Amino acid sequence: MLGAIRARPNFVKPVLVRLYHKPARNTEFKKLTASDIDFFKRVLPAETILATPAVGGTSDPVELEGFNADWLNKYRGDSQLVLRPKTTTEVSQILKYCNEQKIAVVPQGGNTGLVGGSVPVHDEVVLSLRNMNKVRGFDDISGIVTCDAGCVLEELDNYVADKGYTMPLDLGAKGSCQIGGNVATNAGGIRFLRYGTLHGSVLGLEVVLPDGTVLDNLNTLRKDNTGYDLKQLFIGSEGSLGVITGVSITTPQRPSAVNVAVLGVPSYKAVQDAFRLARRRCGEVLSAFEFWDSSCMGAVLHHQQLKSPLSAEFPFYVLVETSGSNKDHDDEKLGALLEELMENGTVEDGALAQDEQQIRRMWMMREGIPESLGKTGATYKYDISIPIPVLYDIVGDIANKLETASLFKSAGASDPVKIVCGYGHIGDGNLHLNVVADKFQDRVTEVFEPYVYEWVSSHRGSISAEHGVGLMKRDYLGYSKPKEMIDYMRRIKSMFDPNGILNPYKVL
């Protein structure tokens, strides 16, 4: 659990946290009593229960702190009971009881989510999967791993690395996040361009439904066309339909060669041209194509003690990565791409990492952006998908609106808004739009919210590309989904969870 501690640098002293609307407690949910705690003591080992004196237990409320607050310390609940079962049977017993008693439950993995989906809103019981952390099996020929939902992503990646494979997803929180949580939130991350969505790589799930039913769909088959693929419903359901207890997932061959280059690019049009050529020239070895603008670069160079590897400043920067099975071949492919991009003027400068350390520094330039913006001021963050051709237009539009309202670039240093910028995974059409202000305030927010969501909606984009809905975006779902689809989502929720005990107040 060291990873979990490392991943929460701001845990003790949160800064500049934006307030969120907390829905009222649903009074139909039962409040815990000592007799409930007695039940859990009968079905679970004592060391897996954390109950405060408020519900008849003996745990210090401080022990529950890390389960009640998310890692940015933005969302915070008031749970008095944390259960950490070790087996699927225990999970089934817990849910069956809670369903009968109408006790609300929030399933929790590594608690690294960004939309308030993994912490209680009020007094929900926290059902932590962290004690279910065993690999159940590995097929060395096909590269399929089957494991408990509470396995930490990085530990799984190390496990399969020993056998020559790699997990098909990777993200900043890998040291803490759990595979069950990754699946429940349909996590994206930086390997998405290469290995695609979890809807493709997850082969089987074991899921416990609110009534205690164990849906055993934990198969390890790449192909299975025997009716509706129910497991897909749980991928991205954010724990609101059932609790994932087991996962089987296909893992690709681990690449033996990795190359990284950073490019200086004169326009967003050129970023797109570079991406198209990179797909053509590097095709099967292209593993990342990330971009950021000059405002992001300014912040990251200022705050991360990094030096740009390029000779000058550019409107846009691109990080291109190849991963393959033959270093010489990949060098040649990437070298030819860079030469062509420079020759035809798509790219104005480029630097190729010469060793592991340079690779790490180049990635830090991209991955250090969120933290650097956070150090600059109060950051409004939007994780959106938009068709690539118009992806960056929204950044200019928002900047213009703020300028027109005299909040940005008008009177210089006294403007409340400091930076309007964008970065993201261009290959996936995923933009992280950020507005940095001196503090969170209504007159700034009103200029671009709900305008951002309207803009995304009018381009048939998604208001949540990879972070999910959680509590944060529940009220905005209509911008991404037509009414008919939301209606069917509700019907599916009622079908699996008629009492609504699972992760209430979230998603829908």
- Give residues 164-203 in contact with a second copy (rule: CB under 8 A): 164, 185-186, 188, 192, 196-197, 199-201
The count of other CB atoms within 10 Å of the CB of residue 229 is 12
Give the DSSP per-residue string, 393-437.
HHHHHHHHHHHHTTSSSSSGGG-SEEEEEEEEEGGGTEEEEEEEE
Nearest distance in Å: CB 479, a second copy: 9
Under DSSP, is residue 36 helix (H, G, I), strand (E, B) or coil? helix
Nearest distance in Å: CB 437, a second copy: 26
Among 279, 303, 327, 409, the residue binding a second copy under the rule CB under 8 A is: 279
Q: β-pairing, 286-293 with 378-385?
A: unpaired
- Give residues 321-360 in contact with a second copy (rule: CB under 8 A): 324-326, 329, 332-333
Under DSSP, is residue 303 helix (H, G, I), strand (E, B) or coil? helix
- Give residues 126-155 in contact with a second copy (rule: CB under 8 A): 139-143
Nearest distance in Å: CB 267, a second copy: 14
Nearest distance in Å: CB 220, a second copy: 6
Of 101 and 197, which has the nearer Cβ to a second copy? 197
- Give residues 462-501 in contact with a second copy (rule: CB under 8 A): 462-469, 473, 477, 480-482, 484-486, 488-489, 491-492, 495-496
Nearest distance in Å: CB 356, a second copy: 20
Cα separation values, 124 from 78, 83, 106, 503, Å: 8, 11, 6, 8
- Give residues 214-273 in contact with a second copy (rule: CB under 8 A): 214-217, 219-230, 232-233, 235-237, 241, 253, 255, 272
Per-residue tokens: 1: 């659990």
Cα separation values, 219 from 139, 206, 224, Å: 12, 9, 9
Nearest distance in Å: CB 258, a second copy: 12
DSSP secondary structure code for residue 32 in this structure: P
The count of other CB atoms within 10 Å of the CB of residue 204 is 18
**Count of residues interacting with a second copy (CB under 8 A):** 92
Q: Is 457 in the site for a second copy (CB under 8 A)?
A: no
φ, ψ of residue 150 to 5 degrees: the values are -90, 5
Tell me how far apart the alpha carbons of residues 383 and 469 are, in angstroms, rounded to a whole number: 11
Nearest distance in Å: CB 21, a second copy: 18
**x/- track of binding to a second copy for residues 386-425 (CB under 8 A):** xxxx-----------------------------------x
Nearest distance in Å: CB 324, a second copy: 6
DSSP secondary structure code for residue 475 in this structure: G
Q: Is 288 in the site for a second copy (CB under 8 A)?
A: no
What does the radius of gyration of the chain's CA atoms come to, in whole angstroms?
A: 23
Among 263, 282, 338, 472, the residue binding a second copy under the rule CB under 8 A is: 282
Tell me how far apart the alpha carbons of residues 382 and 337 are, in angstroms, rounded to a whole number: 32
